[in-house]
Structures are given as C-alpha cells and as structure tokens.
Amino acid sequence: MADEHLEQPLTERFTRALTLACDLHGKQARKGTQIPYVAHLLAVAGIALEHGAHEDEAIAAVLHDAVEDQGGKATLERIQAEFGDAVAHIVSAVTDTDEVPKPPWRARKERYIAHLTSTASSVRLVSAADKLHNARAILHDYRIHGEALWLRFNGGREGTLWYYRGLVDAFLAASGHVHLVAELDRTVREIERLAAKSEA
C-alpha cells in the first residue's frame, strides 16, 4: 500500500505546542482520577485532527485549557507570541473563564453555551472535540462508578446533564462539523439513558 501524505502536514509548531502543554499541565491529573491531564489534551487534538483540523486548530486543541488552568491572560499572551493570533483566538474563545476566583458555575456555563452559536467554525471544532472526549470519559466512568460519579462535578448530576444537553443543542443550532456533533449527541444521549435508568 502506498504511503499517504498530508496536504498540510503538522510542523515543528505542533511539536512545540505539545512541549508547552506538557510543561504547563504535567503535574495535573484528570478530575477524580490518576490519569495524567495531558492524556485529555492529546485526545482532544486527536479528535480534532480526525475531523479535519488544520495545524492552528490542532495546536489550539492541545492548548485549549492552558489559559483557564495555567496562568490566565499571561498564558494567553505567551500563546499568541509563540503561535500567532489565530491560535490565541481559538484558545481564548474556548476558555470558560480566566478570572480568579472563577465566577459562579451556572452563569459561566450559560455564557459558554450562548456564545457557541455565533462563534467561528474553528472554535466550535476544538470545543466539540473537547466536549466529546469529556462526554466519553463521563460515560465510561458512569458505567463503573454509577451515581457516585456526579460528586466530581461542580454542577452535580442535574447540572452536568443540563450542560451537556445544552452544548449539543448549541452545536446543532450552529451547524457544521456534522459527524463530530452527531457523535457528541450519541454519547450524551447514552449518558442521559443511563441517568434515566438509574431513576427507574
């Protein structure tokens, strides 16, 4: 079988983004687990690339949590200086908040959902990839831990279910990234099915 070649291969910029992500997030673990946080960043970049991301989008996927979790505006300025305005714009737009302390959970999430319907396609690609990986992790752990899972989340059971359904509806309303959003919808529907079953 002949080798396949990317029309726009990833360059050393993406390698530098991976290094920065490891430097920034190397001591973090996924909420409620011992899984290195970098695993999530790699997964989000992988999902984005599988759904057609170009290099700026892939870099933003790797760095999508850097501003919120690791340094706020100073980190965003670093990303802009090292990777350019396009990457910085995506990272900023997918950032829940850069305020310390963070604003109330529900208000943040309502604001995030509302802005998805009018934001750029690149932002929605990275955001949907992020939310898909999170939803897959929730579904996996829900099957193992049951209702105890919801103790990990600031929104609890009802808030988390509301948030992910709101995300799906916003992505559907915005259109684009059809297969990615459909997979997110299927994953969230399965979470909702298990939640409803637990109430029966």
Span 164-194, pLDDT tens digits: 999 999 999 998 999 999 999 999 999 999 9
Percent of the chain with pLDDT over 70: 96
Q: Could you say which of 69, 98, 169, 190 is catalytic?
A: 69
Structure tokens belonging to residue 49: 């690339």
Whether residue 32 has pLDDT greater than 80: no
Q: Per-residue confidence at 45, pLDDT binned at 50, 70, 90?
A: very high
Asked if 68 is an active-site residue, the reply is: yes
Distances (CA, A) of 99 to 33, 58, 85, 114: 25, 25, 21, 19
In order of start, what are the domains of the chain with their CATH numbers? 12-199 (1.10.3210.10)
> What's the whole-number average pLDDT of the chain?
93
Structure tokens belonging to residue 96: 């829940």
Q: Could you say which of 56, 68, 130, 185 is catalytic?
A: 68
